[in-house]
Structure 1
Amino acid sequence: MEFARPHLFWLFLIYIPLIFWYVYKIRKIDPTIQASTLDAVKNFRTSYRVWLRHGLFAVRLLAIGCLIVILCRPQTSNKWETSSVEGTDIVIALDMSTSMLAKDFTPDRFAAAKDVASEFISGRESDNIGLVVFAGESFTLLPMTTDKSSLLNAVSSVEMGLLEDGTAIGDGLATSINRIVEGKAKSKSIILLTDGSNNTGLIAPLTAAEIAKDKGIKVYTIGIGSNGSALSPVGINYYGKLEYDYVKVTIDEQTLQSIARMTGGKYYRATDKNSLEGIFKEIDALEKTKLDISRYHNTEDDYMLWAWLLLAFVGLDIVLRTTVMRNIP
């Protein structure tokens, strides 16, 4: 058991003046008589009421003690805990341009990437992981955290249409760098998934890669898309729904390879969901370093036992004073 206000235990010092006062009071009110001999009363036993009077005072002290414990707020052991664990800093940068709805993955590239990313997050016990999405612009979906529930909820809830369409690989990488650079782990890695080539944005991909290199951040790039052609969105029909047709898969593998090589990472090509899962399993073997992480555990007050004891002692005091220890005027 822990206490929210342990400093209030100093209130137990009130027992000292109370005991002194009680001893003084007893000595003052006890009657005395002088006699030449005690032979006539030496066999008399002390009445149980004398001892009960002392017991009544003890009951009152116990009641005061229970009240002090309640004021100290006894609680369950739930709390913030800081522990040192093996982990790394990771940011997942996910392309969410319209082409990620191509049907060469099941059910499409974007959904497959979300599923595999969720499995990857679930398997990383103690890592600080952040989420960045990019299309024609980039956006931090979730800053780095060790809360897997928040990460999984963010991945599952993100939908297409959040950002202006396009493929700003450089902006997505730059935003990921800004998120991960403040991390405390020595090992920092960005996993960038895209199915196209950079066609918009303010920062060139290789410029962002140079920044990552200077910061000691590894970038693992993944090109998503089958070989040949894939059934991909080509427009919107009269009813506002996407129209699909077969489009040649074009991934700027040269740029993605250069980013990975410059930063000490690695480039992967995922042609289906199974190969994407294999890639994430390989990345899952990233080096780990010591991390100090804080976890919150729910804390609840646990004073009911002491409250019932307080009521019991007060009730016992009332019963004794109104029955066997009743004073007669």
Structure 2
Amino acid sequence: MSFARPLLLLALGLLPLWWWLRAKRLARLSGTQMSDVRPAAGAAERLWVARLPVTLRSACLGAWIIAAAGPRIGAARSETRSEGISIVLAVDISGSMQAEDFAPANRIDVAKQTAIEFVRARTSDRIGLVAFAGQALTQVPITTDYAVLEQALRELHPGMLEDGTAIGTAIGTAANRLRRAPGKSKVLVLLTDGVNNKGTVDPRTAGEAAATFGIKIYTIGIGTRGQAPMPTEYGADGQLRYEMRPVEIDEQLLTEIASMTGGRYYRATDTQSLRHIFEEINRLEKTEVEQVVYRRFDEAYRVPLALGLVALALEIVVAGTFAVRVP
């Protein structure tokens, strides 16, 4: 139970004060103020009857104060509304992503697992997936079905597309998905380990177009510094052969693209740094949550109001029959 006007309950404290003032006033008076119409009754009974009207009046006033305070019975129901962010993950699946410079696996396996952890950390966002190498292809349109998205991430592997690194085409494909997505915030997370060498779309031009659509791009360069064991060819046994080769990432290009769209460029040199990068992006891109609380109450003032009326009626009856004030 709650009260619509709880401050009125403070008036209940005036009732004991009224009793105290009345007792002091009666103590100063001499003689008998109340007379029992049954003179044969004892003094104790006459005192009880004499106090009954004022007791009923106090009960009446107390009940009416409670009624005036607006007692109500009900419950509150909360509803959470959130305007999710539209996100596209663009993952490089070129052959160089099989380089084994990320423990305990190669680049693509670590990138997939980290991206899955990122998806699991989101709650109400719409997320899509674009895979790119020599060309770009949407694997999952923007969706809230995280199970489908997670499965698509697990199935990514080099060789699905023509080899190469078409960064501009990847940005254009992702931006084309995001520009029609609902919501105010639109984010592209692009992960690559190379230099743009394929595709007909210039990466800077694609970045400028994304900026006009209000798309923020976070670019991640993945690969150790210096040299790394790079896949070269398959041997007769069907296993990949590796050679130590320089790691080449166009960090200047990735920095420019991120800067022109209000995003940021990150360099991941190992598994732990890649995980920290995704965690930071997760913190930076928060979903706005609005909580609406609905309250429904049933007014309960009728009960104390009725009790007050009953007490008032009893006071009138008692004062006119059993206890009569005499001059």
TMscore range, shorter length: 0.5 to 0.7
Partner amino acid, structure 2, of 1:221? T
- Aligned partner of 1:142 in structure 2 is 140
- Aligned partner of 2:224 in structure 1 is 226
Aligned equivalents of 1:291 and 1:214: distance in 2? 26
Q: How does 1:221-260 map to 2 (within 5 A)?
A: 221-260=219-258
Match of 1:164 among 150, 162, 165: 162
Aligned equivalents of 1:203 and 1:116: distance in 2? 28
More strand per residue: 2
Give yes or no for contact 1:169–1:205 (8 Å, CA) kept in 2.
yes
- Aligned partner of 2:171 in structure 1 is 173
- Aligned partner of 2:89 in structure 1 is 92
Aligned residue for 1:116, secondary structure, equals helix
Distance of aligned partners of 1:201 and 1:291 in 2 relative to their CA distance in 1, 3 Å threshold? farther
1:196 positional shift: 0.4
- Aligned partner of 2:265 in structure 1 is 267
Aligned residue for 1:196, secondary structure, equals coil
Aligned equivalents of 2:225 and 2:95: distance in 1? 19
**1:137-196 Cα distance to aligned partner (Å, 9 max, x none):** 000010001111111111112222110000000001110001111111101000000000
Aligned equivalents of 2:154 and 2:278: distance in 1? 18
- Aligned partner of 1:58 in structure 2 is none
Aligned residue for 1:184, secondary structure, equals coil
Give yes or no for contact 2:97–2:158 (8 Å, CA) kept in 1.
no
Structure 1 residues without counterparts, runs of 5 or longer:
1-81, 293-329
Give yes or no for contact 1:220–1:266 (8 Å, CA) kept in 2.
yes
1:115 aligns with 2:113: yes
1:284 aligns with 2:315: no
Partner amino acid, structure 2, of 1:91? V
Give yes or no for contact 2:192–2:222 (8 Å, CA) kept in 1.
yes
Aligned residue for 1:198, secondary structure, equals coil
Aligned equivalents of 1:290 and 1:274: distance in 2? 28
Aligned equivalents of 1:277 and 1:249: distance in 2? 20
Partner amino acid, structure 2, of 1:184? P
1:238 positional shift: 3.4
Partner amino acid, structure 2, of 1:93? A
Give yes or no for contact 1:170–1:206 (8 Å, CA) kept in 2.
yes
Partner amino acid, structure 2, of 1:278? H
TM-score (norm 2): 0.62
Aligned residue for 2:149, secondary structure, equals helix
Aligned equivalents of 1:110 and 1:126: distance in 2? 26
- Aligned partner of 1:19 in structure 2 is none
Which entry has the higher C-alpha Rg, 1 or 2?
Answer: 2
**1:259-302 Cα distance to aligned partner (Å, 9 max, x none):** 0001000000000010000000000023445699xxxxxxxxxx
1:83 positional shift: 7.7
Give yes or no for contact 2:93–2:158 (8 Å, CA) kept in 1.
yes
Aligned equivalents of 2:210 and 2:247: distance in 1? 28
**1:25-74 Cα distance to aligned partner (Å, 9 max, x none):** xxxxxxxxxxxxxxxxxxxxxxxxxxxxxxxxxxxxxxxxxxxxxxxxxx
Q: How does 1:289-300 map to 2 (within 5 A)?
A: none
Give yes or no for contact 1:230–1:246 (8 Å, CA) kept in 2.
yes
Aligned equivalents of 2:174 and 2:191: distance in 1? 12
Aligned equivalents of 1:176 and 1:83: distance in 2? 30
Aligned equivalents of 2:101 and 2:263: distance in 1? 26
Higher relative contact order (CA 8 A, sep 6+): 2
- Aligned partner of 1:199 in structure 2 is 197
- Aligned partner of 2:126 in structure 1 is 128
Q: Quick one: percent identity of the two aligned structures?
A: 50
Aligned residue for 2:184, secondary structure, equals coil
Aligned residue for 1:244, secondary structure, equals strand
Partner amino acid, structure 1, of 2:94? S
Partner amino acid, structure 2, of 1:99? S
Aligned equivalents of 1:208 and 1:236: distance in 2? 35
1:113 positional shift: 0.2
Aligned equivalents of 1:84 and 1:278: distance in 2? 29
How many residues were matched structurally?
211
- Aligned partner of 1:212 in structure 2 is 210
Aligned residue for 2:263, secondary structure, equals coil
